Each structure stands twice: as structure tokens, then as C-alpha cells.
Amino acid sequence: MTLLPVVSLTDCADPNALARQSTRIATLFGATPTVLPLSGPDPEGAAALTLLDLLRSTDLIGGPTQPVVVLVNIAPRDGHWPNGVPFCWFRHGDHLVISTLNHRVLAPLATYLGITEVHVTDVREVLEAAAAGWAELAPAEIEEMVRTQFRSLWYVPLLARWLADGRAVPAQPTPVPQPVTHDVRVAVVDNFGNCKLDRPATELPGYSTAKSLLVHNRQEGRDVQVRCYDRLPDVPLGEPGITIGSSGIGFAELVVRGGSAAAVFGLSQGDRVLSLAG
């Protein structure tokens, strides 16, 4: 069995769920995973930027890389699926990603990494194929995993292990659709209070260094002009600014130099900052 590092992004974030998931992944992969709970007010937006950043962090290496397995469990907040959204998988270079079929999470990968297709799996079909081919699974065990609502614990780590081992897992190729939204929102608030936005700075309407954009200040209940800067060190101390941040492909950040933009503007994860429609 090949030992592979595993990183898991999940909105099942209570200690009990994290402990069970960590133990099951460690059992299957031979190493303790890195499990990152995403339990804020907008886990989909946070997962989208975090997954993009995670895959981007494997670039600029200058040589061969160690394959990484990434698990993403962020259910869409639409209540559409009878027993939860399906899980899909794709590869980015040598890295394997298994994710809930969450179009908001996956869309930035299509836009900025060129990943336009995923392989969607059906839990019963995969488990029955495994039982017929390589896994010792009784019919009652298959039925238990098909019916459970905690598929991120019972099914996803198995799917990841089998794909990493090169097993012929049945799946349906499916394009990643592009959601249409004009709102630019806070994806992540970092530990300094900087608000990482969900778009590159160059996509913001009228963005240009030394110019200003109209940003919504929830603390004051009005829109205010915020000047654009190339980098955080260019923002005057104590002043707000929109800069090209460290995330994504030149994604924008709303910052206050030496302070917290989240506190000054009254913003949290998922809040609208401005609109591309003007």
C-alpha cells in the first residue's frame, strides 16, 4: 500500500466527527490526515477558495512533487438531493481530489485551473463493483454505507483509497458548470482580519492601482470609496485598501493596514462587498 498524505476539508466539524474521520483515513492510508474544519457562515465560499489555494500551493516547486489526496465534504445548501449530493473525483497533475458535487466549490477550478470535467460516482454502483472485484464487502455492509447520511466517513475514504490504488471505479464524466453571479463576496477572513475576496483584483469593476472602488461598509450601513494598491505594504498605516492578496490567481483582499478590515467594515465570511454589475 502506497502511503499518501491526505488533506480533508469538511463542514462536519464537531470533534466527534473529526476524530472518526481522522481515524478511518489513517487506517486506510497509513498516516494521520490534516483535517480542516470549515464551519463558518459560508462554508461553500471558504471551501472554494481554500481548495483553489491548496492546489495552487503545489505549483512553483521546481521539480517533481509528492502526490497528495484531497477530500472535500461541503454539501450544497439547496436540499435537492434525497440522501445527499453525489461525490465526484478529478486529478490536478498527480494530485487526487474527491469532492461533493458542489458547483460553487468546483467552479473556480474550472475558471482558474482549467478543470472543466469531474467524474461523478454512485455509492451503490461503486461499492458493488468493489465487492465484485477487489474488496471484501458483504451485501449488508454495502447497504449500510448506501443508506448512511455520513457518507464522508464511510464511503469517501474508501473511494479515495481505491482511486489512489488505480482501481477501475465506475463514474460518469460530468462538466463543471459556471454559476453566474455579479456579487463579489468575502470568501475567507484571515487571522489578521483581512477579507479575502472571491475574485481576482483585475476582475473588479474599474480596479486599477491609485484608483478607488465603492465598497459596502456594513458597520456604517453605506458604501464608501476604498483606494486600490498593488500590495499590502503600499497601503498607508491605519488606512483601508484593496490589494492583490496571497490567494487564488491574484485574488483581491480588502485590508486595513495594521488593523482588521473585517472589524472596520463589519464583514464576515459570505458577505457581499461589491457588485461586478456596478
Min mean pLDDT across 48-62, 114-128, 175-189 is at: 175-189
User: Given this model, what pLDDT does residue 177 score?
Assistant: 76
Q: What percent of the chain has pLDDT over 90?
A: 77
User: Given this model, what pLDDT does residue 79 score?
Assistant: 55
| Confidence check: pLDDT of 278 > 70 | no
Choices 3.40.140.10, 2.40.30.90, 2.170.190.11, 3.40.50.2020: CATH for 183-275:
2.40.30.90
| Confidence check: pLDDT of 259 > 90 | yes
User: Given this model, what pLDDT does residue 65 score?
Assistant: 82
Q: What average pLDDT score do residues 94-120 get?
A: 93
Domain residues of the chain, as ranges? 6-175, 183-275
Band of residue 22 on the pLDDT scale cut at 50, 70, 90: very high
* CB-based contacts of 237, cutoff 8 Å, min separation 6: 257, 258
User: Given this model, what pLDDT does residue 205 score?
Assistant: 82
Choices 3.40.50.10790, 3.40.640.10, 1.10.3720.10, 3.20.20.70: CATH for 6-175:
3.40.50.10790
pLDDT tens digits, 162-178: 999 999 999 999 999 77
| Confidence check: pLDDT of 80 > 70 | no
- 125: phi then psi, degrees, rounded to nearest 5: -60, -45
Q: What average pLDDT score do residues 13-29 get?
A: 93
CA angle at 209 for the pair 207 and 211, rounded to the nearest 5°: 65
| Confidence check: pLDDT of 81 > 60 | no
183-275 has the same fold as 6-175: no
| Confidence check: pLDDT of 44 > 90 | yes
pLDDT tens digits, 135-146: 999 999 999 999
Q: What average pLDDT score do residues 208-226 get?
A: 89
* CB-based contacts of 166, cutoff 8 Å, min separation 6: none
